[in-house]
Structure 1
Amino acid sequence: MTPPTTRTWARRGRTPTVRVRGRSRRRLSIAALACYKPGQPSRLIYRPSTDARPDGRKSFAWTDYRDLIQDAHQQLGGPIVLVWDNLNTHLAAGMRRYIADRDWLTVYQLPPYAPDLNPVEGIWSILRRTTTANRAFTDPDHLVTAVRQGLRRLQYRHHVLDGCLIGTGLTPAPP
């Protein structure tokens, strides 16, 4: 809920100021899958979650990631090769059992700290620079609505999603 800042233009001597009534410790967690298949447009599948969850948990549990992968499998209609980082919930015992029981799911782990190899990090960067930049959100619902709108806009910009993958260097640039 702390407003991010970026650059803006103003008349000389008149620095724009945004007053924020107070900081909030509320947070929004988002899990996303950037989906790529040769000959098909890129896809973005995501799930936001606020910290106001019934179980009191403030971040995603391995079961939330399991549900996201299951939904992606149904939407994409085929096997999934999942490449992800070493987040502790990705390495949980329940998640390892879930992966082992699914023949349509193959998982590769990125090196311990390699955000430059994760195309979803590029999506978060774009979201911070466009949708949430220079905005003061009035409440958590306002933040969730803005983030959903920004991600929905990105879903239809396949060239931007492709650019996030090309930016990792894991695939050659198109000719």
Structure 2
Amino acid sequence: SRQVREQLPRLARRGLTLYYLPAYAPELNEVEAVFQVLKQYEMPERSYHTLAQLLAAIRRALASYSQRLHRRGQKPCPGA
């Protein structure tokens, strides 16, 4: 915004640098890799009749993904 741009010199003098990110940059968000695996492999079905069915599918996918990571010696998903 204009207000932020106006404050950039003041912020720079205080040692603060702002980095602008592109509007869409999934490679910069670590959870995107998890979502990709969940969508492509753990949840191949794309249609659920109820919210309860969708939530159950998400829980199963997260648990399965977490188990796969555990077998590989990687850190599992929180809450899975």
If the length of structure 2 is used for normalisation, what is the TM-score? 0.51
- Distance (whole Å) between structure 2 residues aligned to residue 111 and residue 134 of structure 1: 37
Kindly tell me: are residues 111 and 145 of structure 1, through their superposed partners in 2, closer, same or farther at Cα, counting changes over 3 Å?
Answer: farther
1:126 aligns with 37
Kindly tell me: are residues 132 and 156 of structure 1, through their superposed partners in 2, closer, same or farther at Cα, counting changes over 3 Å?
Answer: closer
Q: Which runs of 5+ in 1 are unaligned?
A: 1-109, 163-175
Equivalenced residue count is 53
| Equivalent of 1:142 in 41, 50, 53 | 53
Kindly tell me: are residues 150 and 111 of structure 1, through their superposed partners in 2, closer, same or farther at Cα, counting changes over 3 Å?
Answer: farther
Q: Which runs of 5+ in 2 are unaligned?
A: 1-18, 76-80
Residue identity opposite 2:59 in structure 1 = R
- The answer on whether the counterparts of 2:43 and 2:57 sit within 8 Å (CA) in structure 1 is yes
List per-residue Cα deviations over 1:129-155 (Å, max 9, x = no partner). 123323421101100000011011111
- Distance (whole Å) between structure 1 residues aligned to residue 60 and residue 28 of structure 2: 26
Instruction: State the secondary structure of the residue aligned to 1:157.
Output: helix
Instruction: State the secondary structure of the residue aligned to 2:56.
Output: helix
- The answer on whether the counterparts of 2:42 and 2:61 sit within 8 Å (CA) in structure 1 is yes
In proportion to residue count, which structure has more helix? 2
List per-residue Cα deviations over 1:73-130 (Å, max 9, x = no partner). xxxxxxxxxxxxxxxxxxxxxxxxxxxxxxxxxxxxx862331132210110111112
2:28 aligns with 117
| Bigger relative contact order, structure 1 or 2 (CA pairs below 8 A, ≥6 apart) | 1
Kindly tell me: are residues 141 and 112 of structure 1, through their superposed partners in 2, closer, same or farther at Cα, counting changes over 3 Å?
Answer: same
Tell me how large the CA RMSD over aligned residues is: 2.8
- Distance (whole Å) between structure 2 residues aligned to residue 116 and residue 150 of structure 1: 22
- Distance (whole Å) between structure 1 residues aligned to residue 28 and residue 68 of structure 2: 21
If the length of structure 1 is used for normalisation, what is the TM-score? 0.26
Residue identity opposite 1:142 in structure 2 = Q
Residue identity opposite 1:117 in structure 2 = L
Kindly tell me: are residues 156 and 147 of structure 1, through their superposed partners in 2, closer, same or farther at Cα, counting changes over 3 Å?
Answer: same
